[in-house]
Amino acid sequence: MLRFIIRRLLQLIPILLGLSVLLFAWLRALPGGPAQAALGERATAEDIARYNELFGLDQPLYVQYLRFLGRAVQLDFGTSNRTGRAVTTEFLERFPGTIELTLFAMVFAIGVGIPLGYLAARRYGGFLDSSSVIGSLLGVSIPVFFLAYLMRLVFAVELGWLPGSGRQEVRIDATRITNFYVLDGLMTREWDAAWSAFVHLILPGIALGTIPLAIIVRITRASVLDVVNEDYVRTANAKGLATATVRRRHIIRNALLPVSTTIGLQTGLLLSGAVLTETVFAFGGVGSALRDAITNRDFPVLQGFILMLAVVYVVVNLLVDISYGLLDPRVRVR
């Protein structure tokens, strides 16, 4: 198992190196280069030359790349063109919001999706089954952006049941410790702050969770249908095990293997920033930060955020593989 993990960690290195080259090349390839981007349209040629000298942009490309890499390894991606603050600081402020949102969305998708998929399979061909198949088809095909907009309109604007923008009510002067607002509220015993942060997760979380939900329902259903016909389930029944034991130990356990992979992949995707959903709900996570960075041509932020999110994505996938190895002994040995 340890060897497996180490091997997977080593595999990360070329992936991240490749990505850093791409990002580096992308920034250099911009018209006017980073200097123009940082100084704006009206910068004079002298300004640009001074800037280039200051940041070593007059050096050969490989020297520039190695410097970039050296700083990136220390998580130094420079400062935001817009706010002048360190990119890493901005990331640490924004990312906890996205993590909270992702957790909410995935808990929703898993909590609803697995039981629904299981029941659909057990009632194969019945009403619940057909509706879940159609529902999950709708779920994956409705644009999240549209769904988010609709949910906000109905439940926040029209009905006013739930908050439709931000991460917390503005009037609450909450203490920030980890930037996980719900967690901070719990840690400082500012219950109203925690509660407010939590209810702010509901609408964007559900909107974001629909695609994972639809996929989880579909995969759970297909997987259960496969597993119930397996010979080892017949063996389990031939042993006279109680129905509940057969179900839990032999059917669900094996049926969830493919589901666990899906959960991991979807978590990775959501963590890398739900630009559209966060924008609709003005939710201050990395998704809306990316959107702002794009509109403002804030390249240091884009570069740093993308690279850090890539690391997150790859690490999440590694965790998925490891957990799969723990769940399925056949993978472990290989």
Partner 1 sequence: MPTSAPVLEVEDLAVTFSRKGETPTRAVDGVSFSVAPGETIGLVGESGCGKSVTSLAVMGLLPPRGVRVSGSVRLDGQELIGASDRMLRRLRGADMAMVFQDPLSSLNPTLAIGTQVTEVLLEHRDLDRKQASAEAVDLLDRVGIPDPGRRLKEYPHQLSGGMRQRALIAMALACSPRLLIADEPTTALDVTIQAQILELLRELVVGSGTALVMITHDLGVVAGLCDRVHVMYAGKIIESAERHELFARPRHPYTGGLLHSVPRLDAGRGARLTPIRGSARDTIPWSQGCAFAPRCDNAEDDCLGDTVPLEVDPAYGTDRELRCRHPLQPARVGAGTSGAGVARAATGGSGATASGPGR
Nearer residue to partner 1 within complex by CB, 13 or 238: 238
Nearer residue to partner 1 within complex by CB, 176 or 234: 234
Q: How far is the CB of 327 from partner 1 (least distance, A)?
A: 7
Distances (CA, A) of 114 to 111, 142, 223, 258: 6, 21, 11, 12
For residue 329, the Cα-to-chain-centroid distance in whole angstroms is 28
CA angle 280, 281, 283 (to 5 degrees): 120
Q: How far is the CB of 4 from partner 1 (least distance, A)?
A: 16
Per-residue HEC secondary structure of 22-77 comes to HHHHHHHHCCCHHHHHHHCCCCCHHHHHHHHHHCCCCCCHHHHHHHHHHHHHCCCC
CA angle 98, 104, 106 (to 5 degrees): 100
Question: Residue 86's beta-bridge partner residues?
Answer: 79
Q: How far is the CB of 212 from partner 1 (least distance, A)?
A: 24
Nearer residue to partner 1 within complex by CB, 155 or 324: 324
* C-beta separation of 213 from 139 below 8 A: yes
Q: How far is the CB of 233 from partner 1 (least distance, A)?
A: 8
Q: Which of 27, 78, 86, 30 is nearest to 54 (CA)?
A: 78
Nearer residue to partner 1 within complex by CB, 158 or 231: 231
For residue 253, the Cα-to-chain-centroid distance in whole angstroms is 26
Q: How far is the CB of 19 from partner 1 (least distance, A)?
A: 35
Max Cα–Cα distance, the chain, nearest Å: 85
Q: How far is the CB of 115 from partner 1 (least distance, A)?
A: 21
Nearer residue to partner 1 within complex by CB, 236 or 319: 236
Nearer residue to partner 1 within complex by CB, 300 or 325: 325
Q: How far is the CB of 35 from partner 1 (least distance, A)?
A: 57
CA distance 304 to 23: 9
Nearer residue to partner 1 within complex by CB, 254 or 317: 254
Nearer residue to partner 1 within complex by CB, 48 or 256: 256
Q: How far is the CB of 11 from partner 1 (least distance, A)?
A: 24
**Under the rule (CB under 8 A), what is the footprint of partner 1?**
230-232, 234-243, 245, 249-250, 253-254, 257, 327-330, 333
Distances (CA, A) of 172 to 187, 192, 194, 266: 16, 8, 10, 33
